Chains A and B, each alone.
Chain A
Amino acid sequence: MSFKINMNVEGDTATIRLAGELDGRSAPELNDLVSQAVGRQVAKLVLLLDELTYMSSAGVRCLVFAHQKLPRGSEITLVGTQPEVAETIRLTGFDRSIMMR
Protein backbone atom coordinates (compact mmCIF):
# COMPACT_ATOMS: atom_id res chain seq x y z
CA MET A 1 0.00 0.00 0.00
CA SER A 2 1.16 3.49 -0.66
CA PHE A 3 0.12 6.19 1.72
CA LYS A 4 1.49 9.70 1.79
CA ILE A 5 0.58 12.50 4.09
CA ASN A 6 1.94 15.95 4.77
CA MET A 7 0.78 19.07 6.54
CA ASN A 8 1.22 22.76 6.00
CA VAL A 9 0.14 25.29 8.64
CA GLU A 10 -0.42 28.89 7.64
CA GLY A 11 -2.01 31.33 10.03
CA ASP A 12 -5.01 29.61 11.62
CA THR A 13 -5.37 27.01 8.88
CA ALA A 14 -3.82 23.55 8.73
CA THR A 15 -3.85 21.93 5.31
CA ILE A 16 -3.23 18.18 5.20
CA ARG A 17 -2.75 16.38 1.90
CA LEU A 18 -3.47 12.66 1.84
CA ALA A 19 -2.65 10.27 -0.97
CA GLY A 20 -3.29 6.53 -1.16
CA GLU A 21 -5.40 4.55 1.30
CA LEU A 22 -6.67 5.65 4.70
CA ASP A 23 -7.35 2.52 6.75
CA GLY A 24 -6.33 0.94 10.04
CA ARG A 25 -2.67 1.09 9.05
CA SER A 26 -2.48 4.74 8.03
CA ALA A 27 -5.10 6.36 10.29
CA PRO A 28 -2.66 6.88 13.22
CA GLU A 29 -0.52 9.11 10.97
CA LEU A 30 -3.48 11.38 10.26
CA ASN A 31 -4.40 11.51 13.95
CA ASP A 32 -0.81 12.51 14.76
CA LEU A 33 -0.93 15.44 12.36
CA VAL A 34 -4.37 16.51 13.62
CA SER A 35 -2.96 16.51 17.16
CA GLN A 36 -0.01 18.63 16.00
CA ALA A 37 -2.40 21.06 14.30
CA VAL A 38 -4.47 21.32 17.47
CA GLY A 39 -1.25 22.04 19.39
CA ARG A 40 -0.64 24.94 17.03
CA GLN A 41 -4.11 26.27 17.76
CA VAL A 42 -5.55 26.21 14.28
CA ALA A 43 -9.21 27.07 13.72
CA LYS A 44 -9.55 25.54 10.27
CA LEU A 45 -8.60 22.14 8.96
CA VAL A 46 -8.46 21.51 5.23
CA LEU A 47 -7.99 17.97 3.96
CA LEU A 48 -6.90 17.62 0.35
CA LEU A 49 -8.24 14.24 -0.74
CA ASP A 50 -8.05 14.18 -4.53
CA GLU A 51 -5.44 11.41 -4.39
CA LEU A 52 -7.11 9.43 -1.60
CA THR A 53 -8.52 6.22 -3.11
CA TYR A 54 -9.86 4.37 -0.06
CA MET A 55 -11.29 5.20 3.35
CA SER A 56 -12.43 2.67 5.94
CA SER A 57 -14.11 3.30 9.29
CA ALA A 58 -10.62 3.89 10.70
CA GLY A 59 -10.50 6.99 8.49
CA VAL A 60 -13.99 8.04 9.56
CA ARG A 61 -12.81 7.80 13.16
CA CYS A 62 -10.06 10.28 12.27
CA LEU A 63 -12.75 12.77 11.27
CA VAL A 64 -14.51 12.22 14.60
CA PHE A 65 -11.18 12.64 16.37
CA ALA A 66 -10.54 15.93 14.56
CA HIS A 67 -14.02 17.15 15.43
CA GLN A 68 -13.44 16.40 19.08
CA LYS A 69 -9.93 17.84 19.33
CA LEU A 70 -10.41 21.05 17.40
CA PRO A 71 -12.06 23.95 19.23
CA ARG A 72 -15.85 23.98 19.00
CA GLY A 73 -16.99 25.71 15.83
CA SER A 74 -13.81 24.95 13.90
CA GLU A 75 -14.22 24.38 10.20
CA ILE A 76 -13.28 21.09 8.60
CA THR A 77 -13.22 21.14 4.81
CA LEU A 78 -12.59 18.21 2.48
CA VAL A 79 -11.38 19.13 -0.99
CA GLY A 80 -11.41 16.98 -4.11
CA THR A 81 -12.93 13.90 -2.45
CA GLN A 82 -13.27 10.99 -4.86
CA PRO A 83 -16.82 9.61 -5.31
CA GLU A 84 -16.49 6.35 -3.34
CA VAL A 85 -14.68 8.05 -0.46
CA ALA A 86 -17.35 10.77 -0.44
CA GLU A 87 -20.07 8.08 -0.36
CA THR A 88 -18.29 6.36 2.54
CA ILE A 89 -18.40 9.61 4.51
CA ARG A 90 -22.05 10.18 3.56
CA LEU A 91 -23.06 6.74 4.85
CA THR A 92 -21.79 7.67 8.31
CA GLY A 93 -23.63 11.01 8.29
CA PHE A 94 -20.51 13.13 8.51
CA ASP A 95 -21.27 15.06 5.36
CA ARG A 96 -23.66 17.10 7.50
CA SER A 97 -20.92 18.47 9.73
CA ILE A 98 -18.02 18.98 7.37
CA MET A 99 -17.75 20.88 4.12
CA MET A 100 -17.03 18.89 0.99
CA ARG A 101 -16.08 20.70 -2.14
Chain B
Amino acid sequence: MLACRLRIDGQHASMAGVVADFVEVLAGEAGLDPRQTYWLRLATDEITTNIVQHGYRGSAGVVDIAGEVDQDEVRVRIEDDAPPFDPGGYDPEPRLSVPPHQRDEGGYGLLLAMGKVDEFHYEFADGRNRNTLIMRLRGGSDADGPGRR
Protein backbone atom coordinates (compact mmCIF):
# COMPACT_ATOMS: atom_id res chain seq x y z
CA MET B 1 0.00 0.00 0.00
CA LEU B 2 1.09 3.51 -0.82
CA ALA B 3 -0.08 6.27 1.48
CA CYS B 4 0.48 9.93 2.16
CA ARG B 5 -0.98 12.57 4.45
CA LEU B 6 -1.39 16.13 3.27
CA ARG B 7 -1.55 18.78 5.95
CA ILE B 8 -3.60 21.62 4.60
CA ASP B 9 -3.12 25.08 5.99
CA GLY B 10 -5.05 27.10 3.46
CA GLN B 11 -2.03 27.44 1.19
CA HIS B 12 -2.48 24.61 -1.26
CA ALA B 13 -0.72 25.70 -4.42
CA SER B 14 1.63 22.73 -4.42
CA MET B 15 -1.00 20.07 -3.66
CA ALA B 16 -1.64 19.22 -7.30
CA GLY B 17 2.00 18.21 -7.58
CA VAL B 18 1.86 15.85 -4.62
CA VAL B 19 -1.27 14.19 -6.02
CA ALA B 20 0.30 13.89 -9.47
CA ASP B 21 3.42 12.23 -8.11
CA PHE B 22 1.37 9.90 -5.89
CA VAL B 23 -0.85 8.65 -8.70
CA GLU B 24 2.11 8.37 -11.05
CA VAL B 25 3.90 6.00 -8.68
CA LEU B 26 0.73 3.99 -7.98
CA ALA B 27 -0.12 3.71 -11.66
CA GLY B 28 3.40 2.55 -12.40
CA GLU B 29 3.11 -0.16 -9.76
CA ALA B 30 -0.23 -1.29 -11.14
CA GLY B 31 0.71 -1.07 -14.79
CA LEU B 32 -2.15 1.28 -15.66
CA ASP B 33 -2.03 2.58 -19.21
CA PRO B 34 -1.51 6.33 -19.79
CA ARG B 35 -5.20 6.91 -20.40
CA GLN B 36 -6.30 5.28 -17.13
CA THR B 37 -3.49 7.07 -15.32
CA TYR B 38 -4.73 10.41 -16.64
CA TRP B 39 -8.27 9.84 -15.38
CA LEU B 40 -7.26 8.41 -12.01
CA ARG B 41 -4.96 11.37 -11.47
CA LEU B 42 -7.66 13.82 -12.53
CA ALA B 43 -10.20 12.22 -10.16
CA THR B 44 -7.75 12.23 -7.25
CA ASP B 45 -6.73 15.83 -8.02
CA GLU B 46 -10.34 17.03 -8.18
CA ILE B 47 -11.59 15.21 -5.07
CA THR B 48 -8.62 16.47 -3.05
CA THR B 49 -8.97 20.02 -4.35
CA ASN B 50 -12.67 19.97 -3.52
CA ILE B 51 -11.96 18.86 0.05
CA VAL B 52 -9.46 21.66 0.56
CA GLN B 53 -11.52 24.42 -1.06
CA HIS B 54 -15.06 23.46 -0.05
CA GLY B 55 -14.60 20.96 2.79
CA TYR B 56 -12.07 22.80 4.93
CA ARG B 57 -12.87 26.17 3.32
CA GLY B 58 -9.39 27.55 3.78
CA SER B 59 -8.97 26.36 7.36
CA ALA B 60 -6.37 23.81 8.46
CA GLY B 61 -6.95 20.08 8.14
CA VAL B 62 -5.56 16.82 6.85
CA VAL B 63 -6.25 14.81 3.74
CA ASP B 64 -5.13 11.19 3.79
CA ILE B 65 -4.56 9.52 0.46
CA ALA B 66 -3.93 5.78 0.25
CA GLY B 67 -3.45 3.65 -2.82
CA GLU B 68 -3.73 -0.10 -3.18
CA VAL B 69 -3.14 -2.39 -6.10
CA ASP B 70 -4.49 -5.90 -6.33
CA GLN B 71 -4.91 -8.38 -9.16
CA ASP B 72 -7.67 -6.65 -11.03
CA GLU B 73 -7.97 -3.10 -9.76
CA VAL B 74 -6.32 -0.01 -8.33
CA ARG B 75 -8.03 1.75 -5.43
CA VAL B 76 -7.35 5.27 -4.22
CA ARG B 77 -8.94 6.15 -0.89
CA ILE B 78 -9.15 9.79 0.11
CA GLU B 79 -10.20 10.64 3.67
CA ASP B 80 -10.75 13.94 5.44
CA ASP B 81 -12.27 15.37 8.62
CA ALA B 82 -14.30 18.14 6.99
CA PRO B 83 -18.12 18.22 7.36
CA PRO B 84 -19.88 15.24 5.69
CA PHE B 85 -20.12 15.65 1.93
CA ASP B 86 -20.95 13.05 -0.71
CA PRO B 87 -19.44 14.10 -4.07
CA GLY B 88 -21.58 11.44 -5.76
CA GLY B 89 -24.68 13.42 -4.82
CA TYR B 90 -23.49 16.50 -6.70
CA ASP B 91 -25.67 17.25 -9.71
CA PRO B 92 -23.86 19.13 -12.49
CA GLU B 93 -26.88 19.38 -14.80
CA PRO B 94 -28.12 22.86 -13.77
CA ARG B 95 -24.64 24.23 -14.38
CA LEU B 96 -24.18 22.53 -17.73
CA SER B 97 -27.48 23.82 -19.04
CA VAL B 98 -26.29 27.44 -18.78
CA PRO B 99 -24.47 28.89 -21.84
CA PRO B 100 -20.69 29.07 -21.23
CA HIS B 101 -20.39 32.86 -21.19
CA GLN B 102 -22.92 33.02 -18.35
CA ARG B 103 -21.48 30.19 -16.32
CA ASP B 104 -19.75 30.28 -12.98
CA GLU B 105 -16.10 29.54 -13.11
CA GLY B 106 -16.34 26.72 -10.59
CA GLY B 107 -18.10 23.42 -10.24
CA TYR B 108 -16.46 21.27 -12.89
CA GLY B 109 -14.12 19.41 -10.59
CA LEU B 110 -16.53 16.79 -9.28
CA LEU B 111 -18.00 16.28 -12.73
CA LEU B 112 -14.52 15.44 -13.98
CA ALA B 113 -13.73 13.33 -10.91
CA MET B 114 -16.70 11.06 -11.59
CA GLY B 115 -16.19 11.13 -15.33
CA LYS B 116 -14.00 8.18 -16.15
CA VAL B 117 -13.12 6.15 -13.10
CA ASP B 118 -14.72 2.69 -13.10
CA GLU B 119 -16.26 3.05 -9.66
CA PHE B 120 -16.72 5.78 -7.10
CA HIS B 121 -17.83 5.10 -3.52
CA TYR B 122 -18.48 7.46 -0.66
CA GLU B 123 -19.11 6.76 2.99
CA PHE B 124 -19.03 8.78 6.17
CA ALA B 125 -17.36 6.52 8.69
CA ASP B 126 -15.76 7.14 12.09
CA GLY B 127 -16.36 10.85 11.70
CA ARG B 128 -14.51 11.03 8.40
CA ASN B 129 -15.41 11.42 4.75
CA ARG B 130 -14.10 8.44 2.82
CA ASN B 131 -13.99 8.64 -0.98
CA THR B 132 -12.87 5.56 -2.91
CA LEU B 133 -11.87 5.68 -6.56
CA ILE B 134 -11.46 2.41 -8.44
CA MET B 135 -9.82 1.81 -11.78
CA ARG B 136 -9.96 -1.74 -13.11
CA LEU B 137 -6.86 -3.20 -14.68
CA ARG B 138 -7.56 -4.26 -18.20
CA GLY B 139 -5.08 -2.47 -20.38
CA GLY B 140 -6.54 0.18 -22.57
CA SER B 141 -10.23 -0.49 -23.09
CA ASP B 142 -12.70 2.35 -22.70
CA ALA B 143 -14.07 3.32 -19.33
CA ASP B 144 -17.38 4.95 -18.76
CA GLY B 145 -17.47 6.07 -15.18
CA PRO B 146 -20.42 6.25 -12.81
CA GLY B 147 -20.83 9.93 -13.70
CA ARG B 148 -21.71 9.19 -17.31
CA ARG B 149 -25.33 9.55 -18.25
Count of chain A residues with Cβ under 8 Å from any Cβ of B?
27
Q: Does A7 contact B (CB under 8 A)?
A: no
Flag whether A12 is at the interface (Cβ < 8 A). Answer: no
A72 to B15, CA, bound (A): 35
Q: Contact: A84 with B96, CB < 8 Å?
A: no
CA A92 to CA B93, docked complex, whole Å: 10
A57 to B90, CA, bound (A): 15
A-B pairs with beta carbons under 8 A, tally: 77
Residue contact B101 to A56, C-beta cutoff 8 Å:
no
Q: Who on chain B is nearest to A61 by CB? A: B105
Q: Does B41 contact A (CB under 8 A)?
A: yes
B51 within 8 Å of A (CB atoms):
no
Does B46 belong to the interface (CB within 8 Å)? Answer: yes
7 residue pairs from A and B, CB less than 8 Å apart: A1-B17, A24-B13, A24-B15, A24-B45, A57-B46, A57-B109, A91-B111
